[in-house]
């Protein structure tokens, strides 16, 4: 989950090094806690509501059946607010990447902050409308897309971690690792709809991405500045 753009961007958004370090620590604890307790709700629902028609409704169904209505309403409202917060963070993260990594780099290299800000705002609107339309027209595909997104970010783990800590990491390894991992994720999720040996598509994709990243890095030559950047990052975070 820490590989999601809206999460990883915040790790580097602090006003100073101390804030950035503590942000990383607390975010790790917070995100880990969420994904420890979330499966517990599923396990409880499996036991108490074995005939539930839709697994996606397990949380509100448990609340409405086993807690007071006022409490259930407050918790469900909080969950909706959290979902909205995650949604707008994802929209802003995606639009920022489009503005800086696509528009600035390939379309208008002389773009100032005002133009990039305008492109980002348009991106938020476009991505938001696409999301709403898709949710209304293809609601049955949302679970597959959510699975693809949550598991697909695991493919980024070797590239992000390797890029920050391994001096032999190469650009070719990063690109091939991500592309092959995501293709495998789509293949297992939408086409084969399989979980070989009982392991999830996300785990297989991340494992394959790691192997590809290591093998391609060893077979290609790293840029001279890769080691310098890694040393600079390490020196920066050791200053306090």
Among 182, 135, 130, 137, which residue's Cα sits nearest to residue 156?
Answer: 182
Q: What is the mean pLDDT of the chain?
A: 85
Taking the C-alpha atoms of residue 76 and residue 70, their distance in angstroms, rounded to an integer, is 10
Total number of residues shown for the chain: 240
Q: What is the mean pLDDT of residues 107-120?
A: 89
Beta-carbon count within 10 A of 12 CB: 9
The least confident of 3-7, 51-55, 153-157, 236-240 is 236-240
Taking only the tens place, the pLDDT of each residue in 79-89 is: 888 888 878 88
What pTM does this model have? 0.71
């Amino acid at each position: 989950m820490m590989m999601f753009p809206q999460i990883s961007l915040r790790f580097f958004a602090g006003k100073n090094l101390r804030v950035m370090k503590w942000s990383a620590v607390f975010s790790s604890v917070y995100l880990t806690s969420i994904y420890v307790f979330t499966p517990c709700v599923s396990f409880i629902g499996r036991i108490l509501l074995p005939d539930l028609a839709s697994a996606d409704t397990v949380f509100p169904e448990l609340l409405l059946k086993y807690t007071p209505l006022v409490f259930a309403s407050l918790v469900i409202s909080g969950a909706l607010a959290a979902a909205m917060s995650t949604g707008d963070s994802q929209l802003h993260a995606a639009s920022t990447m489009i503005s800086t990594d696509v528009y600035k780099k390939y379309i208008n290299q002389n773009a100032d902050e005002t133009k990039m800000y305008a492109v980002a705002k348009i991106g938020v609107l476009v991505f938001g409308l696409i999301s709403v339309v898709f949710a209304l027209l293809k609601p049955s595909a949302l679970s597959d897309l959510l699975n693809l997104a949550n598991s697909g970010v695991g493919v980024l783990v070797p590239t992000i971690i390797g890029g920050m800590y391994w001096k032999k990491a190469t650009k070719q390894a990063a690109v091939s690792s991500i592309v092959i991992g995501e293709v495998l994720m789509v293949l297992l999720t939408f086409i084969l709809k399989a979980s070989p040996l009982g392991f999830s598509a996300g785990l297989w994709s991340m494992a394959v991405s790691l192997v590809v990243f290591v093998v391609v890095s060893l077979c290609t030559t790293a840029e001279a500045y890769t080691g310098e950047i890694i040393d600079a990052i390490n020196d920066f975070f050791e200053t306090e």
